[in-house]
Amino acid sequence: MLTNIKTPKVYDQVIEEIKNKIKNGEIKKGDKLPSEREMAESLGVSRTSVREALRALEVIGLVESRQGAGNYIRTNFNNSLFEPLSIMFMLQESSPKEMYDLRETLELQCAKLSAKNIEDNELELLTAILDRMYVAESEEESLELDIKFHYLLAKTSRNVLLINVVEVISQLMDEFIKKSRMQILHEGNTRENLLDIHENLVRALKCRDELKVSSAMKEHFDLIRKAYGY
């Protein structure tokens, strides 16, 4: 199944070989991998090297080991792959401006796609979140609802890759949303300003008008940009 490997970097090469099989479609989600013995013989490497490679792939959430059944490519990744990447991004120590640029790029595109793909029940959920934002009794509650609003909006884009990227940077996003709200309110804007912008966005989504949705989302980021002085 797997081609022979002759290289001093055996551990990395075993992982690379599995990645290549995924890329070319030979291995798919849910597939069972050959046994450690079979892979070792096929690749011409030790079972220890295969075992170390599989353990590394299990740590990042790509492979799951089933007791007595062998090793499988996962079918549901949830946040398993995202945590290591999220930590890596945090270690980059990006500036608030860089985070602003990234969030604007991602969310603006998500919003445009949502205008075409959002479903009625999702519009109802967004409206319900917004209604709760109007009666929130604390900034902590408002922040939690704000975050839910934006993640739900991203999911309604129906673009799996965009959604995955948003989830990868979720910890950064949460912190940026928190700081953005603080900065906006500090600059003299009111809680009602923020609510109006979210209201405009929901209204545009209900019209399923991409231009209106894009304009409403840009209004949101203009408020953030002005608050930070960008």
CATH code, domain with 174: 1.20.120.530
Q: Which residues of the chain have pLDDT under 50?
A: 6-8
In a domain, 4, yes or no: no
Angstrom distance (rounded) from CA 112 to CA 175:
24
- pLDDT, one tens digit per residue, over 127-155 is 999 999 999 999 999 999 999 999 999 99
67-98: per-residue pLDDT in tens?
Answer: 888 999 988 766 565 666 666 666 677 788 88
Q: What is the CATH number of the domain that holds 37?
A: 1.10.10.10
In terms of pTM, does the model score above 0.75?
no
Number of domains in the chain: 2
Listed residue (66, 50, 63) closest to 14, CA to CA: 50
Residues 139 and 31 in one domain: no
Give the residues across from 43 on adjacent strands. none
Residue 215 shares a structural domain with residue 195:
yes
CA distance 172 to 179: 11
